[in-house]
Amino acid sequence: MATDSWVNETLYSAWGQRFRVVRELARVQSDFQDIMVFQSETHGRVMLLDGVVQITEADEFVYQEMLTHVPLLAHGAAKRVLIIGAGDGGVLRRVLQHNTVERAVMVEIDGEVIRLAKEYLPGIAGDAWNDPRAEVIVGDGIDYVRQAEAGSFDVVIVDSTDPIGVGEVLFTDEFYANCARLLSEHGLVVNQCGVPFMQADELHETSLRRAKAFADVFAYVAAVPTYVGGFMTLGWAAKDPALRAATVGEVRERAQAAGILGATRYWTPEIHCGAFNLPPYIAEHLPRG
Ligand code: SAM
């Protein structure tokens, strides 16, 4: 994959992006995947799993803010948050920015991702690892949701790899049924659903599965520069359809109370509400309501 001073992403067989490498920082074969961290010339430090870009220091804020602030502020009173995957710690940091959150449990299958993120990407999680509200578990997300007590979380955030390999279980009927069970009355789950211009099946198939367990299934969009191919979709599955209808004013008020307003670089109340307006080429992959 590393050729001369370039790294080519191997996500798609016939199209992709590449980075000029200043320095390779780590290359580890864990029990689950090939992990690489390097210093790029243009995007700060970059982490790849099995040749696929997971995070870059330059644009991580887009993905992390949208995956975190949208569900928490749509819910409005989330105190207990479950994070699956997200070993870099970026979602954990954003969740704990909400002063309304009392408990954040993060379940990541690969301890090596956490170790390398702490060593080479310390700014992504900041002090979140040491926050007394955080509990970090190295384990399989599917096992955790099977065993979690009913009604024990308000929001589930799934920041997983794509539905191949170890991440596949996080896109199954069983996973979503357990999420519905462990969530409280107005609970919701969001997850990364890929870039629909290139990975339409991911959105289409997982939306159908979510619809078996949740009353309101939808998606919202974010433009993440290094998840190439246009908008990426974040999957939405809520028990209460009203959560998606929060107004700009309501969201702003909640963000103010939670300590989020003015602390973001992508998320704003307007972008929060606008992100649910989908181009038809994306909306056509959602179940018709
Ligand atoms: N934001 C990036 C993205 O979407 O490309 C980061 C993804 S994050 C690093 C994905 C994490 O999900 C990986 O660290 C991977 O080990 C973890 N993961 C995959 N399958 C899992 C499972 N079954 N249980 C818990 N974590 C899992």
Q: How far apart are CA 207 and CA 179, in angstroms?
A: 14
Q: pLDDT tens-digit profile of 47-83?
A: 999 999 999 999 999 999 999 999 999 999 999 999 9
- Those residues with Cβ within 8 angstroms of residue 248's Cβ, 6 or more apart along the chain or in another chain: 269, 270, 272, 273
Instruction: Please list, in sequence order, all residues whose beta carbon lies within 8 angstroms of the beta carbon of residue 66, skipping any fewer than 6 positions away.
Output: 220, 222, 234, 266, 267, 275
The token duo for 182 is: 């462990």
Give the per-residue pLDDT at 163: 81
Is the pLDDT reported for residue 2 higher than 80?
no
pLDDT at 68: 98
Per-residue tokens: 231? 């908008």
68 is in an annotated binding site: no
Q: Report whether 169 contacts 177 (CB < 8 A).
A: no
Per-residue model confidence (pLDDT) at position 121: 98
Residue 113 alpha carbon, nearest atom of ligand 1: 14
User: What is the pLDDT at residue 166?
Assistant: 87
Residue 169 three-state SS: helix
Catalytic residue among 154, 159, 201, 216: 159
b/e map of 159-187 (b: 16 or more CB within 10 Å)?
bbbbbeebbebbbeeebbbbbbbbbbebb
Atom of ligand 1 nearest to the CA of 166: 20
Name which residue sits closest to atom 1 of ligand 1, judged by CA.
54
- Residue whose C-alpha is closest to residue 81's, from 178, 56, 71: 71
Q: For residue 52, give the amino acid letter.
A: V
- For the cut 90, the answer to whether the pLDDT of residue 288 exceeds it is no
Check residue 289 and give its pLDDT.
60
Q: Are 154 and 186 spatial neighbours (Cβ–Cβ below 8 Å)?
A: yes
Beta-ladder partners of 236: 190, 218
Residue 3 pLDDT grade (very low, low, confident, very high; cuts 50, 70, 90): low
pLDDT digits (tens, 9 = 90+) for 138-175: 999 999 999 999 999 999 999 998 888 888 999 999 99
Domains delineated in the chain: 2-54 (2.30.140.10), 60-283 (3.40.50.150)
pLDDT at residue 270 greater than cutoff 70: yes
Question: Could you give the residue ranges of the DSSP H alpha helices within 148-275?
Answer: 173-182, 196-213, 248-258, 269-274
Pick the residue whose CA is nearest to atom 2 on ligand 1.
54
Tell me how far the alpha carbon of residue 159 lies from the centroid of ligand 1, in angstroms: 6
Cβ atoms of residues 75 and 243 within 8 Å = yes
Percent of the chain with pLDDT over 70: 98
User: Do the annotations mark residue 141 as ligand-binding?
Assistant: yes
Tens of pLDDT, residues 175-198:
999 999 999 999 999 999 999 999
Pocket test for ligand 1, best of 113, 145, 160 (most atoms within 8 A of CB): 160
Catalytic-residue membership of 154: no
Per-position b or e across 29-59, b if 16+ CB within 10 A of its CB: eeebbebbbbbbeebebbbbbbebbbbbbeb
Residues 116-142: pLDDT tens digits?
999 999 999 999 999 999 999 999 999
Of the candidates 165, 156, 137, 159, the one whose C-alpha atom is nearest the C-alpha of residue 88 is 159
